[in-house]
Structure 1
Amino acid sequence: MSIYRLYKFREVNTNSLTSLANAELWFSSKEDFNDPFEGTLILDESLDESDYSLWKSNVNWTMEVHPRDKGFVELCESLGLDPYKTDEQELILEGLRYELGVLTKIVHESKFLCLSQRDQKNDPIYENLMWSHYAQGLRGFCLVFNNDGLQRDINVASNKRMRGIKIMYQDQPNKISLSEYLRSDLWINENKQNYIQIVIETIATKSSAWKYENEMRIITLDSQVNAYSYTPETLEEIVLGDKMPQRHKELVLAVAKSKYPHAKIKTARLIPNTYEIELVDNIA
């Protein structure tokens, strides 16, 4: 069994039990995340003469930059510019800014499944804050998925419109640049740079304060779909919080017995006289 596993910490409520019974996972919008700084980025809009020259040398520039040129006026109006006050460089700058803004908006309005990942260095299942913040202080539960299996299932369910992204933790937001965008694969392709990936990384970067989550996200560009199904076999374990009320435990175990008879059932509990968490086999 691969060391790489994916965790989804859940509270016990109607939504989480319904999703578990239906073998599906909910994808959220960026605005629903609990980190208010999600998607923060630094935009470098500086362009120099080489940038403007490169743009003009690769664009069929036929219109006259003058209010009497109909094409120029229409372009200015589409970009919210005054044709009587706009020069050539401002038009190029605003055009690139608009296009990069559209791309950023598409990515940031995608849907995301937020998970924690066990890898060779980290295992968030033992993190106190994960159980505190996302599983009602050991009153909820955690779903343990096979990493490759879940990504494969979501890829099929989304008609191959998904991408797995590992969250990077750093002290400053990512920077994107109009000059680099101009030279990327979406424009001149001078630097052979995949700029969609660079924009995606702005939604895959968080403050170092969140590092304990060891988060991995699955992103889908279909913003109209809220949930995707997975095969029951992909769910390998269900870990119950030790403080889960008995009536909730009975509900989760009933779903597990019916839908996931193969899955191991464990309990997460505090080790006496410590702040540490241990997993033990569940005693029915």
Structure 2
Amino acid sequence: MSFYKYASAEIGLKILDGTIRFTQPNAFNDPFELVPEFFYPDDLQIEALDFEIHCGNQNFDLTPIDSSAVCNDIAARNLVRELSNQIGILCLSRKHDSLLMWSHYADEYKGVLIEFDKDHEFFLGSFEIPYIKERRKINLTDFSKSRTPIPISVLCTKSEQWSYEKEQRVIRSLDFCRKIGTDINQNPIFIMSIPLEAIKSITFGERTTIKNQKLIWEKIKHTNIELKLAALANNEFQFRYDIIKYNVPLIKMNPMVNPRTAQIFLDEQGQLGEIAKFMYEKHHMTEIANLTL
């Protein structure tokens, strides 16, 4: 099994340049992120709360809470604020063929799908997101200094409506990340360095521009990263995954040139460039193969 990230071509290029974003909880697109229902007992002293939270995927026995208990919204909001100053989260998926994620996260099929080696040390401590029908209830006494701090993975639950994502997460302290600016919502952007060896393949979307395909090809042609195209299949709501480059450098094997991929290689020197030019200019399927859907 691998981990996957659906991303815009721009983000894909940044990852190939060796950096990847770890996002703070308050910058997520789901306001329920890390916001369970917190029960705040009357006899709990605020000084006793311990918000030093582990990042690993650990088992933790939560104190049962009666369903009629009144929970504290302020405590939940304060926790998200506190965590957003401490941690960044990398959100990945275990699913490689999601139509919804191609549309939502990969720039409406103009982006890429990045496949990662799940066994690489970069993903140490990753954990699956559980999808539940009702928000998790947590007794704030579980945070008291007399007990072991709660792992962050216990807080990471999502509504069943998100289950199509099959999400896998990696959490790191912002102390190990580098701030490089802010996003369009003025949230700080924190990144970590990621080695190319952690990347297994890049897949172009149905609408990835030729310009971006060429830029990505230039970055990976001398690497062991595989290159593919997720083209619309001739039937059903599914993709046809066409291999463009196998997981070997260009010096060992030429890419697969066809009417759909020929434009990527038009600027290459030697036999590869000549084959690409001939295919692009002479093949009877070139025009229809490159119609944008």
Give the alignment of 1:173-252 within 5 angstroms: 173-182=135-144, 186-187=145-146, 189=147, 194-197=148-151, 199-202=152-155, 204-222=156-174, 225=178, 226-252=190-216
- For the residue of structure 2 that corresponds to 1:9, the secondary structure is strand
Q: Which of these two proteins has the greater Rg computed from alpha carbons?
A: 1
Runs of 4+ in 1 over 4 A off after TM superposition: 97-106
Provide the rounded CA distance (Å) in 1 between the counterparts of 2:15 and 2:195: 13
Name the counterpart of 2:251: none
Letter of the 1:220 partner, please give it: R
How many angstroms does 1:8 deviate by? 1.2
Give the alignment of 1:1-284 within 5 angstroms: 4-13=1-10, 15-20=11-16, 22-46=17-41, 89=43, 92-96=44-48, 106-109=82-85, 110-117=87-94, 124-149=95-120, 152-153=121-122, 163-182=125-144, 186-187=145-146, 189=147, 194-197=148-151, 199-202=152-155, 204-222=156-174, 225=178, 226-258=190-222, 261-282=223-244, 283=257, 284=261
Letter of the 2:2 partner, please give it: R
Q: 2:41 touches 2:140 (CA, 8 Å); kept in 1? A: yes
Provide the rounded CA distance (Å) in 2 between the counterparts of 1:146 and 1:252: 19
Provide the rounded CA distance (Å) in 2 between the counterparts of 1:168 and 1:268: 28
Question: 1:65-119: CA deviations, max 9, x gaps?
Answer: xxxxxxxxxxxxxxxxxxxxxxxx5xx53334586868765445410111112xx
Provide the rounded CA distance (Å) in 2 between the counterparts of 1:195 and 1:34: 27
Structure 1: give runs of 5+ residues left out of the alignment.
48-88, 118-123, 156-162
**Cα-Cα RMSD:** 2.5
- Identical aligned residues as a percent: 24
Provide the rounded CA distance (Å) in 2 between the counterparts of 1:153 and 1:135: 23
Question: 1:240-268: CA deviations, max 9, x gaps?
Answer: 1122111111111111114xx21111111
Q: Which has the higher helix share?
A: 1
Question: 1:224-249: CA deviations, max 9, x gaps?
Answer: 53222222222111111122111111
Which structure has more RCO (C-alpha within 8 Å, separation ≥ 6)? 1
Closer, same or farther in 2 for the Cα pair 1:26/1:179, shift >3 Å? closer
Provide the rounded CA distance (Å) in 2 between the counterparts of 1:6 and 1:154: 9
Using structure 2 for the length normalisation, give the TM-score.
0.64
